[in-house]
Structure 1
Amino acid sequence: MNAEEVRSKLKTLDPVHLEVEDFSDGCGKKFRLLIVSDAFDGRPLLERHRMVNNALAEEMPHIHAITMKTLTPEQWKKIKSDQ
């Protein structure tokens, strides 16, 4: 599993912004994700994370850890403007 494969699976969430970082020294076991999608609008954090886990369901047995930020485009815009 590599970052590009994870990115491909997450396309099902129709992200407007997507960052996938493999922080496992290249072994494909630990990923840091930032996903911005309209699909998250009106959904609580736990449901958003479940959506990501469902998108990666086939790969989850091979992944040791995932750190994720799941944002709506409006939340992303606010974060970017605050920087």
Structure 2
Amino acid sequence: MPMAANEIETLIRAALPDASVTIEDLAGDGDHYACKVVSEAFRGRSRLQQHQMIYAALQGHMGGTLHALALQTNAPAA
């Protein structure tokens, strides 16, 4: 069963309450998304660490319920 974009956003916002989250369904199938997340929590962290924070927020759904997620993460502009 595909994962709804709003469910992805809810999980990310639960872990990063200040986050600005934009999600695009790339294939229209609920399995392939592009996601842009901007959060102050990313400041000073490597891109790998930022992505690990998102994967942790998704609570194991990545690779299972959620097949593909293209991530773009950033701290807010200074």
Question: Shorter-chain TM-score: which interval?
Answer: 0.7 to 0.9
Structure 2, unaligned runs of 5 or more? none
Structure 1, unaligned runs of 5 or more? 78-83
* C-alpha deviation, 1:15, in angstroms: 3.6
- 1:64 aligns with one of 54, 67, 70: 67
Runs of 4+ in 1 over 2 A off after TM superposition: none
Aligned partner letter, 1:33 = C
Larger radius of gyration: 1
- TM-score relative to the length of structure 1: 0.80
CA RMSD, 1 decimal: 1.4
**Which is richer in helix?**
1
Note closer, same or farther for the CA distance 1:16–1:54 as it changes in structure 2 (3 Å cut): closer
- TM-score relative to the length of structure 2: 0.84
Identical residues among aligned pairs (%): 31
Distance 1:70 1:54 in 2: 14
* C-alpha deviation, 1:57, in angstroms: 2.4
Q: 1:2 and 2:9 equivalent?
A: no
